[in-house]
Chain A
Amino acid sequence: TQLLEQSPQFLSIQEGENLTVYCNSSSVFSSLQWYRQEPGEGPVLLVTVVTGGEVKKLKRLTFQFGDARKDSSLHITAAQPGDTGLYLCAGQYYNQGGKLIFGQGTELSVKP
């Protein structure tokens, strides 16, 4: 059984601070995705990483995929109140026939 361990579960910071969210597994991903979810809505894709060691940037968000394809991180620089929300990592594994598993989520609150 594959598990996606996401940490931290809760994060409350001041505007302007930096933060990092981690997503780890004991198995190798074929791809890993990061989603953001607003209250009352479904998750919306931020990024997909496929290649080991890959780094992608989306404005103040930086996503890294581990060399061994077992872990990923999301780093936010100079967080803004508009970044508040639930961040979710999701992975698909080799030889798992399309199964898409989510981590436990990180509830981020950025205070002005």
Chain B
Amino acid sequence: NAGVTQTPKFRILKIGQSMTLQCTQDMNHNYMYWYRQDPGMGLKLIYYSVGAGITDKGEVPNGYNVSRSTTEDFPLRLELAAPSQTSVYFCASIIDMNTEAFFGQGTRLTVV
């Protein structure tokens, strides 16, 4: 019973490098989300998707891109990494509006 799986768990990037954070869910959930969380703070929405082929910007989308080619996968792409993108990234999914969000274990990213 995997739920929401994120990879990698940890990553160190140099300034200007690119990477993709992977997120996959096996619950057939329609809605998927990417958040970033800075120490002791809440979650800020980066991008979200209400179904395959549909994505939309959240509160802090600059410097990121997403795609949703299948229901299961929602990768987050960082182009030209910057120190300000050092954070913990969480992927989440819900089956429908007003239902419980299930989260992955997070990816701790450091940009140096």
Contact = CB atoms under 8 A, between A and B. Distances in A.
A105 B103 contact: no
Nearest to B43: A102
Nearest to B100: A45
B31 interface: yes
Contacts of B94: 98, 100
Interface residues of A, number: 28
A90 interface: yes
Given A97-B50, A100-B48, A43 B97 contact: no
Contacts of B90: 42-43
Interface residues of B, number: 27
Interface string B1-31: 0001000000000000000000000000001
Interface centre among B48, B98, B105 (most CB of A within 10 A): B98
Nearest to B56: A97
B58 A99 contact: yes
Interface stretch (B34-42, B68-76, B78-86): B34-42
A94 to B, nearest CB: 10
Nearest to A3: B59
Nearest to A99: B48
A90 B48 contact: no
B50 A33 contact: no
A47 B53 CA distance: 31
Contacts of A42: 4, 90, 92, 103-106
Given A98-B50, A98-B97, A43 B41 contact: no
Given A42-B104, A102-B44, A105-B40, 18 more contacts: A6-B42, A31-B97, A33-B100, A42-B90, A43-B103, A45-B101, A48-B99, A90-B101, A97-B50, A98-B31, A98-B50, A98-B97, A99-B45, A99-B56, A101-B45, A102-B42, A102-B43, A105-B42
